[in-house]
Amino acid sequence: MSEKVKIGIIICDRYRSCAGGKCFRALRNREGGFSIYKNQDLEVVGFTTCGGCPGGNIEYAPEEMKKNGAQVIHFATGFVVGYPPCPYIKYFKDYIEKRFGLKVVVGTHPIPQKYYLMHQKLGTWDSSEWKELIEPTLCTEQIRKSYD
């Protein structure tokens, strides 16, 4: 393995009681948003919520994560699969990248198939912007089904 990559994970506050099982499974298996680290060691240096709409914690949490060595911030997949998806996600991503100089990846675990199918019916991710945001978490249908 190469040098360790330190990451922070921010989850949507509506899932604040989530234990992180799918995120940590995906991290361990290098699936979804973590597939970009196939041959790298990872260390989670922070895990928190956005603070609730409109994301008050986005101003502060990345700074603490960066002090702990974070090089990349991952927004949990819940930001894109919730009903509705986070309307602030693009602002959050831009803010963190510009303010803290940290790369932001949208997604942790693969999108579960049941969410994928519903959002397809709703047309949620039809725009080019949303297609780009969900791309890291699409995976194959088989992998998506394993996250249902």
The architecture CATH gives domain 2-146: 3-Layer(aba) Sandwich (3.40)
Q: Is 111 exposed, middle or buried (0-12, 13-18, 19+ CB in 10 A)?
A: buried
- Over residues 113-141, the mean pLDDT reads 96
Q: How far is CA 63 from the centre of its chain?
A: 17
Per-domain boundaries in the chain:
2-146
**Mean of the pLDDT values across residues 23-34?**
97
Where does the pLDDT of residue 3 fall: very low under 50, low under 70, confident under 90, or very high at 90 and above?
Answer: confident
Nearest of 90, 100, 99, 24 to residue 69 by alpha carbon: 100
pLDDT of 38 higher than 80: yes
**What per-residue string of b and e applies to 24-55 under the rule 16 or more CB within 10 Å gives b?**
bbbbeeebbbbbebeeeebebbbbbbbbeeeb
1, pLDDT greater than 80: no
- Is the predicted pLDDT of residue 35 greater than 70, yes or no? yes
What pLDDT, in 10s, does the model give residues 68-100? 999 999 999 999 999 999 999 999 999 999 999
Q: Return the pLDDT at 2.
A: 65
The token duo for 92 is: 């959050």
